[in-house]
Chain A
Amino acid sequence: MRSQRVTTILIGLAAAAGLVYWLQSVRSGEGGRVPEGVTRGGTLVATFRTEPQSFNRYVSARVADQLFSLLTQATLVRTNRATGVLEPRLAREWSASPDGLTWTILLREDVTFSDGTPFTSADVVFSFQALYDERVKSPIASSIQVGGQPLVLRAHDSHTVEVTFPASYGPGLALLENVPILPAHKLKASLDAGTFRQAWPVTTPPAQLAGLGPFVLREFVPGQRLVYERNPRFWRTDDQGRPLPYLDAIELQIVPEQNAEVLRLETGAVDLITDQVRPEDLAALQALQAQGTVTLNEAGVATNPEMLWLNLDPASVSAQARSWLQRLELRQAISHAVDRRRIVDTVYLGTAEPAYGPMTPGHGDWYLPDLPRTGYDPARAKSLLESIGLVDRTGDGKLDDDRGQTARLTLLTTKGHTIRERTCAIIQEQLAAVGLVLDVVPMETTALIAQLMGGRYEAAFFSIVFDSFDPGGHLDFWMSNGAFHLWHPSQATPATDWEAEIDALMLKQSTSLDSAERRRLFGDVQRLFAAHLPVIYFAAPRVVVATSGRVGGAMPSVLAPTVLWNAEMLWLVPAPAGAAGK
């Protein structure tokens, strides 16, 4: 009897121990059950062009630093780049006051940083404190403001935060998706001492970093690679309660040369490359897709098509010398003279759509497909040019202005950028057909930017990256006082009536809390833009993303990083023996 009791107790203890072990292994990801088709584990090898300048996202706006932050830190909310829907992250749920100015955010509980320290509202308050601190001079601070004023944050309790907007703001809480939440216990001392800018340089040992993201940095070899491994304390699970991320690790190899990147992907040495596939690489990758070694995903139409604009500052040197450079008819003529289909077929090898404005189908509901378009019509172009006094007065096939000088303009673009150089060549050829002489000057990027910033140019062909779909996040482009109002930036007062009208509409749409009204107002902005053509667009590429055949769970986005934005959901098919990768 006694021995039976002892045996029962021992069996019970063994069962309890087994249960505890199983529970722990599920939490830590070892031996956890995964759904059919999804394999837990493995190292994804990706390439990236540059290395981070700092591990502190608040002091550097570089793309490499942004990626580091995406992988190791977390934000309160996030826009799902595949669906465009705002998702809860560290914020569990939220509610707004009737006037939309104050938001109460409930934070996830039982969340800890990668070093085990509990996450609380103090970390959120601290993060915004650091962001707005004058001594930090964060380059991202101005983008987390409304009307030039910072948000005000207050902690109600350990897991409730109140955010007050200084003014009504249409995009709402989406503004917070670019603010990674930093650990107060690691960085508060440096903020108090005024040394926050020097905190977390790239020489910081990985063990001293802490974050709420899906991965932690394990190794950084300058100039060569960064290795991230799974954060065992990551708070997120998939929709069936399984712990994330699926991957054991991500190795990011620093490969500055694009041909070398593609070569490595083609041969299976890496699973993922930085950028979208170039048109000239598509054919080779399609052949590999047929073999199953590469997977090509089309993410949609790019949201940052190449732009041609003229310097419309009336005080510019070019405006003083040749007033016709400022005329709407000239811009309309350029738009009519260029065959967009030819650019799509010749430059992009068919992997693009003709573009007529800054918004593309990649912008989702913000795109208006029924906007008026300037079709390919060289005769109309000639007639427009004639209407502003540009006619061939000497019979040499080139137009002359009313002073008898050949009508020519200089177009600056980036040297070595194949797409831009080829597009400019086509534009040059097609403008020559209508008698307009275009001198294309390829320049090194830094020199080009210097010319643009100084207003020392007549026309430019370039592209600016917009990192969100919502135009409320690009007021610096749309508003006449914006620094990125490319054709005539930082105006004290709007120089034209139509710019004043756009200013008024954009202010209304960015402060409206009614999404339907916001879209209607922005539709009016786009119609005004199309009518006055301050920037001319020709083609928007379709974003194709290439991964190795063993990568699963990818949700490609037109916004960079195209695949790693959702790294916690990626998984790997186990490699057959002898294949590349880990």
Chain B
Amino acid sequence: MLAALLFVLLVSSGAFALIRLAPGDATSELFLARGDPAALAEARSRLGLDQPFLMHFGQFLTGLATFDFGQSAVFGRPVGDLVRERAAATARLAALALVLAAALGLPAGVLSASRPGFAALVAPVSLALVACPPIVAVLGLLLVAVQTGWLSTAPGSYAVPTLALALPVAAMLERLQAQATSEALASPDLVAAAARGVPRARLVWVHAARQSLRPVLGVAGAVVGSLFSGSLAVELVTSWPGLGRLLLDAVTGRDLFLVAGCALVGAMLIALGNLAADVVRAVVDPRVRDVP
């Protein structure tokens, strides 16, 4: 728990520091609108950008301690409200995508391990999906959706963004599950069970599947991370009002407090995702629970 808190704090502070030290600041948009020097100076003063870095950073840390995440320079609203709204939207999307990815990828992986014919069909598709950059995948899906009308592209619709996030993750899970299940099927205990006459289906879907979940859940953190990193492209193209898009707006607008807030919430969600994966792993594999 302490490690998770430290992780979240470090990520958030690091994001603040990086943006503060990067060239440019939140007054750039005012410059583009031909704001006069007095207006630019006033904006810099109001946003605290004329203060030394350490003083500004100190204010940020003080705010963190009191759960005051500051005001967004880009959106003119409290950062807390903004990240709450957008994080909820991203979390909903990510959760749905994760469920869909697991529902597609895990059984497909087990089937790939137990049926070579199925693997020959699925493996190239999975490899292509894993290799495909998220923005290409989502643009392709959007094109299919608008051309065919099979999927809704209305603002707020879950169809395209969920599929765009879920398919690459499902492909990754399929590959991992297939490998882990193959190894489990070749393990001495399952070979012995087969020799004792345990039905093939039970061997595959009960014993091997359960045994192989442990290595798959071991990469749960990476899966959750990939959901959040992939969500940026998906949110941008599908106009999903999520954390990824908010973070992009914050970074390009050099919105210090918003960047830090997004990084903090993003780190929290990843930490929580890892925690959930650990809990599931403990439920699935009693050996983990017995480890002192």
Kindly state whether residue A224 has any CB partner on chain B within 8 Å: yes
Q: What chain B residues lie within 8 Å of A453 (beta carbons)?
A: 31
What residues of B have a CB within 8 angstroms of the CB of A266 in the complex? Answer: 146
| B236 CB-CB contact with A under 8 Å | yes
Whole-angstrom distance between the Cβ of A561 and the nearest chain B Cβ: 15
Q: Which residues, 191 to 242 on A, are CB-close (under 8 Å) to B?
A: 201-203, 221-225
Residues of A within 8 A of B89 (CB): 223
Contact of B28 among A61, A202, A203, A445 (CB under 8 A): A445
- Do A257 and B236 contact each other (CB < 8 Å), given the known contacts A201-B77, A224-B155, A490-B37? yes
CB distance from B31 to the nearest CB of A (A): 5
Kindly list chain A residues whose C-beta atoms are within 8 Å of the C-beta of B38. 142
* A483 near B36: Cβ-Cβ < 8 Å: yes
Q: Complex Cα distance A201/B252, Å? A: 22
Q: Does A516 contact B (CB under 8 A)?
A: no
Collect the chain B residues with CB atoms within 8 Å of residue A50's CB: 249
Bitwise, B127-154 to A at CB < 8 A (1) or not (0) is 0000000000001001100110000010
B174 sits at the interface (CB 8 A):
no
Also in contact, A61 and B245, with CB within 8 A (given A202-B75, A202-B76, A264-B153): no
Asked if B61 is at the interface (CB within 8 A of a chain A CB), the reply is no
Taken together as a complex, chains A and B put the C-alpha atoms of A450 and B24 apart, in Å, by 5
From residue A465, how far is it (CB to closest CB) to chain B in Å? 7
Which residues from chain B contact A54 at a C-beta distance below 8 Å? 76
Fill in one digit per residue for B1-45: 1 if any A CB lies within 8 Å of its CB, else 0: 000000000000000000000111100111111111111001100
**Assembly CA distance A62 to B32 (angstroms):** 9
Smallest beta-carbon distance A548→chain B, Å: 14
User: Which residues from A are CB-within-8-Å of B189?
Assistant: none
When distances are taken between beta carbons in the complex, the residues of chain B under 8 Å from A465 are 32-34
Judging by beta carbons under 8 Å apart, are B34 and A257 in contact?
no
- Does A142 lie within 8 Å of B36, measured CB to CB? yes
CB of B37 within 8 A of CB of A139, answer no
Asked whether B254 is an interface residue with its Cβ less than 8 Å from the other chain, the reply is: yes
A315 at the interface (CB under 8 A from B): no
A139→B33 contact, CB < 8 A: yes
Q: Min CB distance, B258 to chain A, in Å?
A: 12
CA distance A465 to B32 in the complex (A): 8
Q: Is there contact, CB below 8 Å, between A259 and B139?
A: yes
Query: Is the CB of A254 closer than 8 A to any CB of chain B?
Result: yes
Query: Which residues of the partner chain A approach B22 to less than 8 Å between Cβ atoms?
Result: 446-447
Q: Which A264-309 residues have C-beta < 8 A from chain B?
A: 264, 266-267, 269
Contact of B241 among A223, A484, A490 (CB under 8 A): A223
* Docked pose: A449 CA to B22 CA in angstroms: 12
Q: Is the CB of A61 within 8 A of B254?
A: no
B253 interface contact, C-beta 8 A: yes
Taking CB atoms, residues of chain A closer than 8 Å to B182 are: none
Q: Is A259's CB under 8 angstroms from B33's CB?
A: no
Complex Cα gap A141–B28 (Å): 18
Q: Which residue in chain B gives the minimum CB-CB distance to A145?
A: B36
Q: Smallest Cβ distance from B48 to chain A, in angstroms?
A: 15
A511 at the interface (CB under 8 A from B): no
Q: Please indicate the chain B residues that have their CB under 8 angstroms from the CB of A137 in the complex.
A: 39, 42, 46
Any B CB within 8 A of the CB of A256: yes
**Across-interface contacts of B268 in A (CB, < 8 A):** none
A339 at the interface (CB under 8 A from B): no
CB contacts (< 8 Å) of B25 on chain A: these are 446, 450
Query: Would A450 and B139 count as touching, CB distance under 8 A?
Result: no
Q: Does A202 lie within 8 Å of B245, measured CB to CB?
A: no
Contact B143 A263 (CB under 8 A): yes
Nearest-neighbour CB distance to chain B for A547, whole angstroms, equals 18
Q: Which residues of A contact B252 (CB under 8 A)?
A: 444-446
Q: Give the residues in chain A near B236, CB-CB below 8 Å.
A: 256-257, 260
With A224-B155, A257-B237, A483-B36 as given contacts, are A450 and B28 in contact (CB-CB < 8 Å)? yes
Q: How far is the CB of B37 from chain A (nearest CB, A)?
A: 5
Q: How large is the interface on B (under 10, 10 to 19, 20 to 34, 35 or more residues)?
A: 35 or more
Interface string of B98-118 (1 = CB under 8 A from A): 000000000000000000000
Point out the residues of chain B lying under 8 angstroms from A201, CB to CB.
76-77
Which of B30, B155, B253 interacts with A253 by CB under 8 Å? B155
Contact present for B147 and A61 (CB under 8 Å): no
Residues of B within 8 A of A269 (CB): 146, 153
Question: Could you tell me the distance in whole angstroms from the C-beta of B46 to the nearest C-beta in chain A?
Answer: 8
Decide: A260 and B147 in contact? CB cutoff 8 A.
Answer: no
Residues in B with CB closer than 8 Å to A490 are 37
The answer to whether A225 and B155 touch across the interface, beta carbons within 8 angstroms, is: yes
Docked complex Cα distance between A39 and B142 (Å): 32
Contact check, B85 vs A222: say whether CB atoms are below 8 A apart: yes
Structural contact, B36 and A62, CB atoms closer than 8 A: no
User: Are the CB atoms of B139 and A449 closer together than 8 Å?
Assistant: no
The answer to whether B241 and A222 have CB atoms under 8 Å apart is: yes
Q: Which residue of A lies closest to B37 (CB)?
A: A483
- For residue A40, give the distance in angstroms from its CB to the closest CB of chain B: 25
Do A256 and B37 contact each other (CB < 8 Å), given the known contacts A223-B86, A225-B155?
A: no
Q: A61-B33, A449-B31 are in contact. Are A267 and B253 (CB under 8 A)?
A: no
Closest chain A CB from B160 CB (angstroms):
10
- Once bound together, how far apart are the Cα atoms of A450 and B34, in whole Å? 14
B239 nearest in chain A by CB position: A255
Contact with B along A122-165 (1 / 0, CB 8 A): 00000000000000010101110000000000000000000000
Q: A53 in the interface, Cβ–Cβ < 8 Å?
A: yes
Cβ of A25 < 8 Å from any Cβ of B?
no
Contact of A53 among B74, B143, B146 (CB under 8 A): B74
Q: Across the interface, which residues of A come within 8 angstroms of B253, CB to CB?
A: 446
Whether A224 pairs with B34 at a CB distance below 8 angstroms is no
Least CB distance from A259 to B in Å reads 6
Which A-chain residue is minimally distant from B43 (CB atoms)? A139
A139 touching B24 in the complex, CB below 8 Å, given contacts A203-B77, A263-B143:
no
List residues of chain B with CB within 8 A of the CB of A254.
155, 239, 241
User: Whole-angstrom distance between the alpha carbons of A180 and B81 in the complex?
Assistant: 29
Residues of chain A touching chain B, judged by Cβ–Cβ distance below 8 Å, are 50-51, 53-54, 60-63, 137, 139, 141-143, 201-203, 221-225, 253-257, 259-260, 263-264, 266-267, 269, 444-451, 453, 464-465, 476, 483-484, 490
With A53-B74, A139-B35, A446-B24 given, name 18 new contacts (CB 8 A): A53-B76, A60-B76, A137-B42, A139-B30, A221-B155, A223-B85, A223-B89, A253-B155, A254-B241, A259-B139, A264-B146, A445-B32, A447-B22, A449-B24, A450-B28, A451-B23, A483-B34, A490-B37
Q: Report the 4 A-B pairs with minimum CB-CB distance, sorted nearest first.
A: A223-B241, A446-B24, A450-B24, A267-B146
Q: Give the A-binding residues of B (Cβ under 8 A).
A: 22-25, 28-39, 42-43, 46, 74-77, 81-82, 85-86, 89, 139, 142-143, 146-147, 153, 155-156, 236-242, 245-246, 249, 252-254
The 22 sampled A-B contact pairs (Cβ below 8 Å) are: A50-B249, A53-B74, A53-B75, A61-B33, A139-B33, A141-B39, A202-B76, A203-B77, A203-B81, A223-B89, A223-B241, A263-B146, A266-B146, A267-B146, A445-B32, A446-B252, A446-B253, A446-B254, A449-B31, A453-B31, A464-B34, A465-B33
